[in-house]
Amino acid sequence: MRARSTVSVLLAVLPFLAACGAKAAGPGPRIYVALDEQFSRPLLDRFAQELGVALDQRHDTEGNKTVGFVSAIREEAGSPRCTVFWNNELAHTVHLAKLGLLEPYDSPAGRDLPSKWRDEEHRWYGFAARARVLIVNTKLLPDPKDWPTTYRDLLDPKWKGRCAIAAPLTGTTMTHFTALWRKLGDEEFGRFLEGLFANEVRLLGSNGATMKAVRDGEIPWAFTDTDDYHVAKTNGHSVACVFPDQQDGGIGTMLIPNSVALVKGGPDPEGGRRLIDKILARQTEAMLAAAEGAQIPLRAGVPGPQDPSVKPVGSFRQMDWDVEWTAENLTTFNQKFSRRFGK
Amino acid sequence: MTSTSRALTVRWPLWLALAFLATFAALPLAVLAAQTVLGPDGFTFEAWRALLHDENLGRQAGATLQLGVAATAISLLLGGGHAWLTVGRDLPGASLLAPLGIAPLVLPPIFVAMGFSELMPASGFWPCAFLLGVAHAPFVAVLAARGLRATDGRAYESALLLRGRGRAETWLLRTIAPELLAGCLLAFLFTVADHGVPEFLTVKGKAWHTYAEGIMSRWARRAVGTTFAELQSPIVAALPFLAALGCLLWAALKLRADAPDRGVARPLPLRPLGGWRWPALLLPFAYLTAGVGVPVVVLARWALGSAQKREPMSLQYLQQSFAKAMDQCAVHLGNSVALAAGTALLVLLLAVPLARRSGRSSPRLELASALPIAAPAILLGIGLVRAFHDSWLRALGNDFYSGFGFAACGYVARFLPFAALTLTGQVRRLPVAAEEAGALVARSPVVRAFRLHLQPLAPAAWTAWVMVFVLALRELDLAVILPAANATAVRRLANAVHYQHEDWSGVIALMLLSIAIVVPMLPSLIAGRRLASLS
């Protein structure tokens, strides 16, 4: 009878135990990826195969973009679960470096990146960037003379209730607004924010949503990232892209690279280092440029996106933004302004 | 063997179930509650005062309650109306329409939202209430239909003869009130707890936010400037509300569980709709169109290529979409099915002993097993993360927290009440005499369990398995929070539509729906039983 009971117990808990072990931390590194899973997963699968490691990939949700993993890495600091963090923007990675959560790694593959986009202490590297651009519906605005040209057009009464930006609570828009805060100063930035509400600018949940609102003709234009714009264009929609603030004296278009970093104390750091080398390779930048997301290579000589409307580095006026200051002030920005956006 | 050790040996399944509930339902919520008062950042009276004056939270709570009431009213109208018009009525096609009352349940609410947002701007209050009302109307439809089927036709005929048609209908409505109330409470509960649909509509431009959105938003940004008090305050405020909701829910479910035994000697007579016979078709038609037709058509159009403008929609494009779907999301689909099936199996293993105990001798146990329903998935998920993300299991080398085992435990904690309550009702209907006779036979408890106790529970167990399987398959809120569940199809789909991946998202969504429909229908299809048994 006891034997039967024991067998029954085992039968009952067997599926449970199997499930527990199904995804237990394996021997390979674990990567947290904030870049769109459609673009990053095939690359990472390939890298894992080339390196011969069991790579455990975790992909973020769009709504939590970036901040979900940043929160997780901070919480896991005592007992890290992540080896490599591939962020789809830069400031939050620098923020983690400042908190001492990243391990320096002098990757040979990252040495030819522009010095502005890599850490002197080798804690993070920026690569394959997106530009913060204006996406325009060319059916609603067929004449380029009517197109917006600067971020200040968000405040133009001509566009009241007819333009959009993602709520700056996560992702690249949060980085963009924090950098803009630095650029404009407290007073002017405050006026800018109030102007957004006064002009009834639509605050949507993501850059994908702003792109869709324009693509589907709900509004004539919006702020988005080049990857979102490019996918809409590739899918045959009537959209164009404006690199804003290119006029004399304009602040320029913001370029936000992906970033990659080794997390301090994560599993299989050696595997993580080899993975970082793969991610930072020139070939990866080229593949990301050729993919639907049309990421802009930061290194000279790496083939850029084929679409000429996604301009290469050097062919447009770049916004000079203070990466370190932005990273240091992300939390202050959140504390100071997030309530203004109702959450 | 002492009496205590004997009790432990004989009742180990019950103790296992109780331990599970304590670990994965009570502990996470207790941790959330405890963290509000313990530790250096403990929630102080000043924080409570600040909470009372927090305009954002006030607005979110107000909007959530209004949304809950409005969506529940819509669920009652559509779901209750569907059952009222299709069960025991002379509505054309009633026998086919009646079992379809449950159909919208197989669609994740976010699919309904995706469908409608393609057709019209859905960021206002009423569109949001409508979407949630439609998505949760099956709770009302199924329970109301069950109430109508359980009503004694002779009593209705007596009322009809004595008081006339109008009063007989009023009597019938009063008779099924417990089921309607239970259905409405479930719809209300699922609406106020839903994070996925409001968040999806916020992405689309909704400018007001619900409580679940507020909690999730603060949680997601917890490491980038959200203070402990800010993060904790909505959770603190939610706990008493949850307790009240849990009690209400238990009362309603108890009413529902007790209701069916009304001595059904004869089903309701066919009640004529008179001149309304054909016009009345509009309501079930509108309900099923909104709950199933629109989302499925939109998803199918996506799969055919409606979201891109390079080429017209075609079957060739569908093939491409299918290939992309397999490339991008086959793993996630497999994860979803495995997680849902595993969850449903575990739920059954735990629910049977709970139901047997609560159905026979411990009615309070029913309350304990029902309460987790009242905890919104977002809150339960945050509690699970807080309680387990630094678990001691890591020291043993097993990263339980990151694996599917942990995700399954979270899902089981969320859906165990549904199975436990279903099975408890069934246990109550079984005669005690056979079990008592069985206890006198010198056979092991395991043998008795399999041969005597479990067999009569099989139909209810299948119902419970199906219900949990479908609910787990469509679960989004826990999937967003629990690490391994991030890699499920619904979570991937909720994410993918941000990126213009409508083509393969449509394919995966339709495959998910097919699985949710075909699996529950398998026994009916194999045995050739009527589909009415599903509802």
Q: Is B453 on the interface with A (CB under 8 A)?
A: no
| Strand A221-225 to A125-137 pairing | antiparallel
ipTM: 0.77
- Facing A38 at nearest CB: one of B208, B487, B501: B501
Mutate which of B8, B24, B203 to test chain A, going by most A C-beta atoms within 10 A? Answer: B203
pTM for this entry: 0.84
More confident residue, A233 or B241: A233
The half-sphere exposure of A213 on its side-chain side, counting CA atoms within 13 A, is: 32
- Measured between CA atoms, the residue of chain B closest to residue A71 is B223
For residue A326, CA distances in Å to A305, A323, A329 come to 28, 5, 5
Q: What is the pLDDT of residues A109-150, one digit of tens each?
A: 999 999 999 999 999 999 999 999 999 999 999 999 999 999
Residue B307 touches chain A, beta carbons under 8 Å = yes
Judging contacts by C-beta atoms under 8 Å, the chain B residues touching residue A4 are: 444, 446-447
pLDDT at B434: 73
Contact B494/A at CB under 8 A: yes
What local confidence, expressed as pLDDT, does residue B314 receive? 92
Which has the higher per-residue pLDDT, B157 or B525? Answer: B157
The nearest alpha carbon in chain A to B10 belongs to: A5
Look up residue B230 and give its two tokens.
């800010």
Closest CA–CA distance from residue A307 to any residue of chain B (Å): 16
User: DSSP string spanning A31-88?
Assistant: EEE-S-HHHHHHHHHHHHHHHT---EEEE--STTTTHHHHHHHHHGGGS---SEEEES
Q: Structure tokens of A138?
A: 């060319």
Q: What is the pLDDT of residue A12?
A: 47
Overall average pLDDT of the B312-326 stretch: 93
Tokens 């018009």 correspond to what residue? Answer: B85
Residue A208 and residue A215: Cα distance in Å, rounded? 10
> Is the Cβ of B484 closer than 8 Å to some Cβ of chain A?
yes
3-state secondary structure of A164: strand
CB atoms within 10 A of CB A274: 18
Residues of A in contact with B214 (CB under 8 A): 343
Rounded mean pLDDT, B413-429: 85
Please name the fold of domain B55-290: MetI-like fold (1.10.3720)
Minimum-distance CB partner of B345 among A15, A79, A330: A15
Could you state, in order of their start, the residue ranges of all structural domains in chain B? 55-290, 317-535
What pLDDT is stored for residue A17 in this prediction?
46
Shared fold status for B55-290 and B317-535: yes
- Residues of B within 8 A of A335 (CB-CB) are 225-227
User: Is A15–B346 a contact, with Cβ atoms under 8 angstroms apart?
Assistant: yes
Write B333-338 long-range contacts (CB < 8 A, 24+).
B333/B489, B333/B508, B333/B511, B333/B512, B335/B404, B335/B484, B335/B487, B335/B488, B335/B489, B336/B473, B336/B488, B336/B489, B336/B490, B336/B512, B337/B473, B337/B515, B338/B404
Rounded to whole angstroms, how far apart are CA atoms B224 and B5? Answer: 51
Q: Among A8, A23, A338, which would you mutate to test the B interface (most chain B Cβ atoms within 10 Å of its Cβ)? A: A23
Q: Which residues contact B261 (CB under 8 A, 6 or more apart)?
A: B150, B428, B429
Whole-number Å distance between alpha carbons of B323 and B317 = 10
User: B402, B484 in Cβ contact below 8 A?
Assistant: yes
Interface of B with A in 323-342 (CB under 8 A): 328, 342
Q: Identify all chain B residues contacting A76, using CB atoms and an 8 Å cutoff.
A: 389
Shortest distance between the Cα of B179 and any Cα of chain A, in A, equals: 34
Residue A93: closest C-alpha in chain B: B224
- Taking chain A, what is the end-to-end CA distance rounded to the nearest angstrom? 59
Q: Over chain B, what is the mean pLDDT?
A: 83
Q: What is the CATH number of domain B317-535?
A: 1.10.3720.10
Of B178, B272, B149, which Cα lies nearest the Cα of B530? Answer: B149
Length of chain A: 343
Residues of A in contact with B234 (CB under 8 A): none
The residue ranking higher by pLDDT, B519 or A127, is A127
Question: Searching chain A, which residue's CA lies closest to the CA of residue B13?
Answer: A9
Question: How many residues in total does chain B contain?
Answer: 535
Retrieve residue B253's tokens: 């479910």
Q: Is the pLDDT reported for residue B430 higher than 60? A: yes
Q: How far apart are CA B116 and CA B121, in angstroms?
A: 8
| Share above pLDDT 70 across residues of chain B, in percent, rounded to a whole number | 85
Interface check A3 vs B, CB under 8 A: no
Per-residue pLDDT at B259:
58
Give contacts of A206 with chain B, Cβ < 8 Å: 203, 498
pLDDT of residue B533: 47
Contact A339 B56 (CB under 8 A): yes
Residues of chain B contacting residue A85, judged by C-beta atoms under 8 Å apart:
none
* CB-based contact B224 A95, cutoff 8 Å: yes
Task: Please give chain A's pLDDT, 343 residues, in tens.
Answer: 444 444 444 444 444 544 444 444 456 899 999 888 888 988 999 999 999 988 999 887 655 556 678 888 988 888 888 999 999 999 999 999 999 999 999 999 999 999 999 999 999 999 999 999 999 999 999 999 999 999 999 999 999 999 999 989 877 898 999 999 999 999 999 999 999 999 999 988 888 889 989 998 999 999 999 999 999 999 999 999 999 999 998 999 999 999 999 999 999 999 999 999 999 999 999 999 999 899 999 999 999 999 999 999 999 999 999 999 999 998 888 888 877 776 5
pLDDT at B49: 72
Q: What is the mean pLDDT of residues B398-403?
A: 82
Core vs surface per residue B368-404: b (16+ CB within 10 A) or e: bbbbbbbbbbbbbbbbbbbbbbeeebbeeebbbbbbb
| B446 contacts A58? CB cut-off 8 A | no
Structural domains of chain A, with CATH? 26-127+257-308 (3.40.190.10), 130-254+334-341 (3.40.190.10)
Quick one: closest CA in A to B386, which residue? A75
Count of CB contacts below 8 A, A vs B?
184
A37/B495 touch (CB, cutoff 8 Å), yes or no: yes
Helix, strand or coil for residue B357?
Answer: helix
Helix (H, G, I), strand (E, B) or coil at A12: helix
Does B446 touch chain A if contact means CB atoms closer than 8 Å? yes
pLDDT at position B448: 73
CB–CB contact B390 A78 (8 Å): yes
Instruction: Kindly list the residues from chain B whose CB atom is less than 8 angstroms away from the CB atom of residue A237.
Output: 308-309
Nearest CA in chain B to A205: B203
A231 part of contact set with chain B, CB < 8 Å: yes
Query: HSE on the CB side for A288, CA within 13 Å?
Result: 30
- Chain A residues 75-104 within an 8 A CB cutoff of chain B: 75-76, 78-79, 81, 92, 95
Nearest 5°: phi and psi at B273?
Answer: -95, -5
How much is the pLDDT for B218? Answer: 77
pLDDT of residue B257: 60
Is it the case that residue B469 has pLDDT exceeding 90? Answer: yes
pLDDT tens per residue across span B49-98: 777 777 777 888 889 999 999 999 999 999 999 999 999 888 999 988 98
Residues of A in contact with B416 (CB under 8 A): none
Rounded to the nearest 5 degrees, what angle is found at the Cα of A64, between the Cα atoms of A251 and B71?
120
pLDDT in tens, B114-145: 888 888 877 789 999 999 999 999 999 998 99
A61 touches chain B (CB under 8 A): yes
CB B203 to CB A63 under 8 A? yes
B502-527 vs B489-496: helix crossing angle, rounded to 10? 150
pLDDT, one tens digit per residue, over B252-310 is 666 666 655 555 568 888 888 888 889 999 999 999 999 999 999 999 999 999 888 88
Residues of chain B numbered 367-386 and touching chain A (CB < 8 Å): none
- Per-residue pLDDT averaged across B488-506, rounded? 82
Closest chain B C-alpha to A308 CA, distance in angstroms: 19
> Do the Cβ atoms of A342 and B56 come within 8 Å?
yes
pLDDT confidence of residue B42: 60
- State the best of A33, A43, A343 to mutate against chain B, taking most chain B CBs within 10 Å: A343
Confidence band for B8, pLDDT divided at 50, 70 and 90: low
Question: Where are any strands of DSSP class E within B303-362?
Answer: none
- At A77 the pLDDT is 85
The pLDDT, as a whole number, for residue B88 is: 87
In whole angstroms, give the CA distance from residue A315 to residue A303. Answer: 14
CB contact under 8 A, A203 and B207: yes
Closest Cβ opposite residue B495 in set A12, A61, A213 = A61
CA distance A208 to chain B (A): 5
Contacts of A41 in chain B (CB under 8 A): 328
